[in-house]
Structure 1
Amino acid sequence: MKIKIATGMLTAFAMMSQAHAAEPAACQAPTFSDVGWTDISATTATSAILLEALGYKPEIQILSVAVTFESLKKGDTDIFLGNWMPLQEATQKPLVDAGEIEVVATNLEGALIGYAVPAKSYEAGLKTYADIAKFKDQLGGKIYGIEAGSGANGTILKMIDEDMFGLGGFELVESSEQGMLAQVQRAIGSGNDIVFFGWRPHPMNVRYELEYLSEGNDVFGPEDGAPPS
């Protein structure tokens, strides 16, 4: 059985290599966008390694989400593996409807995005989106997000602007994923409360004891940020 599987894999590899050789030169060096999120960096790097094994010469570009979609539209970038839906729908859907970009497949199901807090904060009563305002003093009136221009930060800013869940007096601290998680680590290490934008899968869910807030009225998508399957 093992030999047959191995032979089948080698045969498939040979067939794909032959197909690759017949492709136009422009298709042999695909470009990826990596927006700097750990999970997307991992999947992008893995995909590039697989393509290299098939004889391609992939290139990975470090771009913001906004620049990524514009680059896809212009044809300067070929592949983006971090299209979180429905969070990025406002940016993605018009381009898809206009035929300027194409959604090829869903590469992950069962993911989750939304507000996250340390387990200690959750146990203290910070369990829902409406609870955030009750903890304003402990939180220093701040919510920590990722890079400026991201769909996540746009959603958070809308909540603040519209005073949803009583967040009108809060400040969004925009940073990189790494900067945000550094702040999370400091808060957990000192026993302080913090609300930040989290997502799963991501190493943060293993590195820290976290809980995701509930009753968010689907602001980050159905089922409090769980994308539809």
Structure 2
Amino acid sequence: MILILFLAACGGDDSEETSNDASADEGSEETSEGPEIGQEDLTQPYVAWARETVSTHMLGALLEMVGYNVELSQVEAGAMWSSVADGSADFHTSAWLPATHASYWEQYEEDITQVKQVLDSAPLALTVPSYMEDVNTIEDLKDNEELGESVDWEIVGIDPGAGIMENTQEVIEDYGLDNWELTASSEAAMLTQLQAAIDNEEPIVVPLWKPHWAFGTMDLKMLEDPQEIYGGDGDQIYTVARNDLEEDAPRAYKVLEQYDENYEMIEEMMPKVHQEEQDPADVVQEYIENNPDQVDEWLDGIPREE
């Protein structure tokens, strides 16, 4: 009887060990396959700014490569942030922090996850053509009657909801630029006026940022900002997502965690979209085909759909 019980006990241990080994193997297979796809339909809002148009289409293309259906939704800055915060959109790659989008972050930080810094240097400033030799700092605008009258005391702005517009309004107040007025339009309209002024070698003052294709085609200079209202050395750009995205779409979240940018890639694509007026989807697809090693880094460990 004792011998029988002993053998039965040994047999039970072997069975349990075998079961544990099988479970471990199953876990290994699941890990090797990468994160699950989860929710297949994603919405990515963006503002049609120079860098954002390229970056948004790039992330959309990468996510479609790993099995997602991605809707790109062009909106204004306020709607871009609020839609991710309330869950009607999933993520955006246009968070300029800590300065430019500070007000949006303060309003929505409880509902939005900061996923990844994608670019580490994104300076903003009031900008003028380089031939305006006597204007080098924001302080040079104050009480500058000759310049002010020549441009009707106007700083030519972009979308009214853009963070750089809020910063510029603060610049006007804090630097005592009492005679100056910031006018809102759009990035495209501002750039049209900037190019026209340069063609005629006329003065103009605009808010601008890097990376931007304009610095590659126009001779421009950013004005010094001693009070660092635009953020000193510049913002960093982040991808942000609604709080539950990692749980709902693990594979997509992994892509967002691994995606990053550099000036070279962005400056290669921006002129094709904004000057040559190529379809941004075609531009990013060309980049993907020509840079397989970069794509492999972005999608490392993530299964791709055939």
Q: 111, 120, 128: which is aligned to 1:109?
A: 120
Provide the rounded CA distance (Å) in 2 between the counterparts of 1:129 and 1:139.
15
Q: Does the CA contact (< 8 Å) of 1:17 and 1:55 recur in 2?
A: no
* Alpha-carbon separation, structure 1, partners of 2:78 and 2:55: 20
How many pairs are equivalent? Answer: 204
Tell me if the contact between 2:136 and 2:223 (Cα under 8 Å) persists in the aligned partners.
yes
Q: Which amino acid aligns with 2:102?
A: E
Alignment correspondent of 2:104? 91
Other structure's SS at 1:81 match: strand
Unaligned runs of 5+ in 2: 1-29, 238-306
Secondary structure of the 1:115 match is strand
Query: Which gives a bigger RCO, structure 1 or 2 (Cα 8 Å, sep 6+)?
Result: 2
Kept after mapping to 2: 8 A contact 1:17/1:54: no
Between structures 1 and 2, the one with greater strand share = 2
Spell out, residue by residue over 1:54-102, the C-alpha distance to the aligned partner (whole angstroms, 9 max, x if none): 1211110011111111111110111111111121012113321x2x111
| TM-score where L is the length of structure 2 | 0.63
Alpha-carbon spacing, 1:205–1:193, altered in 2? closer, same or farther (3 Å): same
**In the alignment, is residue 195 of structure 1 matched against residue 205 of structure 2?**
yes
Distance 1:40 1:16, change over 3 A: farther
Distance 1:41 1:189 in 2: 26
2:8 equivalent in structure 1? none
Aligned match of 2:230: 220
Structure 1 counterpart of 2:213, which letter?
Answer: P
Quote the residue 2:180 is aligned against. 170
Secondary structure at the counterpart of residue 102 of structure 1: strand
Alignment deviations for residues 187-219 of structure 1 (CA, whole Å, 9 cap, x no partner): 111111111011111111112111000134111
Residue in structure 1 matched with residue 12 of structure 2 by the alignment: none
What is the root-mean-square deviation of aligned Cα atoms in Å? 2.1
Report deviation, 1:222.
Answer: 2.3
Say whether 1:182 aligns with 2:192: yes
Structure 1 unmatched ranges of 5 or more: 1-14
**Does the residue aligned with 1:30 lie in a helix, a strand or coil?**
strand
Give the conservation status (yes or no) of the 8 Å contact 2:125–2:222.
Answer: yes
Confirm or deny that 1:70 pairs with 2:82: yes
Q: TM-score with structure 1 length normalisation? A: 0.83
- 2:212 & 2:31 partners in 1: Cα distance? 32
Pairs within 5 Å for 1:2-81: 18-19=33-34, 22-24=36-38, 27-81=39-93
